[in-house]
Each structure stands twice: as structure tokens, then as C-alpha cells.
Amino acid sequence: MDNLEQAFNEIIEKDLKVEPRDWMPEKYRANNIRQISQHAHSEVIGMQPEGNWLLRAPSLRAKQVLLAKIQDEAGHGLYLYSVAETLGISRQEMIEQLHSGKAKYSSIFNYPALTWADMGAIGWLVDGAAIVNQVSLQRTSYGPYSRGMVRICKEESFHQRQGYEIMIHMANGTPEQKAMAQDALNRFWEPALMMFGPHDKDSAHTSDSMKWKIKRETNDTLRQKFIDKTVPQIEFLGLEVPDKNCKWNEETGHYDHSPFNWDEFWNVVKGNGPCNAERLEHHKKAHNDNAWVREAAYQYAKKTEGELV
């Protein structure tokens, strides 16, 4: 073992942070780029189903709150692309990987948002699952990612409250509104649980991620945490847990649950979900239609570079 590798291992062992100029194994760099770029792509693609409801929100206040959330997600994407760039990959390359299908984003965003109640389910369940995962990532070993997650988690907590507020109004509204809330919960429950990724034994990345403290808790551990905190929230709303086998287990101190439909999960990950093609085509079109903005910004930066110096 050479001195550079030994210094890296000491950083990991002592629970310190790896910084951009530190030497790191190429697999560590690649693992971080994969995870961070996927996280960034998810934030940006996740704006689409919500943007589709912005002009149909039921009140001016609802529009303002939803718009604020969408703006936050754009900011999260910006933070995360910037973090990934510190690892030596360009934003252009990350976008090309997304458009080619080489890079992935969270499978949850390939499901349609059919009703206003879905805005509640997405904020409550999807952002709630993200918080469980991202609170753990505040302690990830790569310094820029760890620091970026502190602000992102604070804003995600607002998103979760926004979603839960919608569900409270729907669940305590008319019978039709409560039925919409239940329907949204039914459709997003299992996809939200599969956001944490495959079972640890089936994950190609968990072992290295845990060894290098990129991830601090496994997929299955995080998923169980989310189930344990969310089931009481469902009961408070007066709704039914979509999983009939979800019951409290006194011996384990956790909720038991049914097996997941992993065939559907992998089918969506491979690009065959209800909205995969739609989401990517929308992103490609927006990226290409606004190429002039990037070019104008580049030319302005070139023009003013000497003046700023």
C-alpha cells in the first residue's frame, strides 16, 4: 500500500472528510459521481410532474407554495451538479449521460401525477423518503456532498410538510377528496419504498459505498426507518396502509411488510415505466431549446473576464 492510499484509508477510518484535492481511488471517485449525478438528475426531472400542476393548483397560496418547492428542486440540482464537478466530471458530460440513458434518476419520477392529491403524496412520501436517505448523507465521507446535504435536507423538510398539509386537507375534506387521497397513497406507496434501491444483497454498489462511508446506512435499513415513521402518519390521516400485511411486530420493534414487486422496479429502471420516455424527451427539448441561453452566458463571461480581473 502506497502513502497516498494509506492517507486516504486513514481519512475514512478516522471519520474525516475526503476533499476534492485529496487523492482517492478511482472506484471511490466513480461511485460518488454515479450517486451524486443520479441525485442531481432526480431533483431536476422531479420538477416535471409538479410543474404540470402549477397552473392547476386549487388556490393562489397553493400555487405559491408549489412554485417555491419547484424552485428549491432546481437549486438542489445546481448544488449537486456543482458537487459532482469537483470530482472531475463536467456538467455537459453528466447531461449527455442522462440523455443517453447511461445515467439514471430515481424511478419514482417515472409515474404520472394524475390528481392534486398526487402533489400531496409526492411531497409527503417521495420527499419524506428522500429526507430519510439524505439525513444519513449529511455524514457521507465526501466533504462537498456532505456539506451540500445540510442545506438540501432543511429545504426537503419544508417539501414534506407541504405534501402532508395537502393530504390532511384532502383526508378531512369531502368523501371524494378523501378517496383521492387514498388513491394517491395507494399508487405511490410501493414506488416510494423502492426509492431506497434494491435489497442490500442485490445491490452492486452497497458494499463499496458502506466500506468507504459514502453511504452510512444500507438500503434496507433506511427503508425500514421510513416505513416505521410513515405508518403512524397514515393512521393519523384516517387512511388505510396500502399493504394489508403491514403490521407492528413487537419482537422486532418494526413494521412487517409484504415483499415488493421488484420486477416492476427493474422494468422502470430499464426505461420501461409509464413516463420514462416522456420525462427524458421533455428534458432533452428544454435543454436544446435553451442552448442559446448557455451560449449567451458563455460569451458574456468571455467578454467580461478581462474586466473582472
Q: Looking at residue 231, what is its pLDDT?
A: 97
pLDDT (tens digit, 0 to 9) for every residue of the chain, 309 residues total?
Answer: 688 999 999 999 999 999 999 999 999 999 999 999 999 999 999 999 999 999 999 999 999 999 999 999 999 999 999 999 999 999 999 999 999 999 999 999 999 999 999 999 999 999 999 999 999 999 999 999 999 999 999 999 999 999 999 999 999 999 999 999 999 999 999 999 999 988 877 777 778 889 999 999 999 999 999 999 999 999 999 999 999 999 999 999 999 999 999 999 999 999 999 999 999 999 999 999 999 999 999 899 888 876 654
Q: Looking at residue 309, what is its pLDDT?
A: 45
pTM of the model: 0.92
49-73 tens-digit pLDDT: 999 999 999 999 999 999 999 999 9
Question: In sequence order, which residues have a C-beta less than 8 Å from that of residue 155 and are 6 or more positions away?
Answer: 72, 75, 76
- The string of DSSP codes covering 81-141 is HHHHHTTT--HHHHHHHHHHTSS---GGGGS---SHHHHHHIIIIIHHHHHHHHHHHTT-S
Quote the CA–CA distance of 89 and 97 in Å, as a whole number.
11
Q: Looking at residue 306, what is its pLDDT?
A: 63
141-173 tens-digit pLDDT: 999 999 999 999 999 999 999 999 999 999 999
Q: By the 8 A CB rule, do 147 and 82 touch? A: no
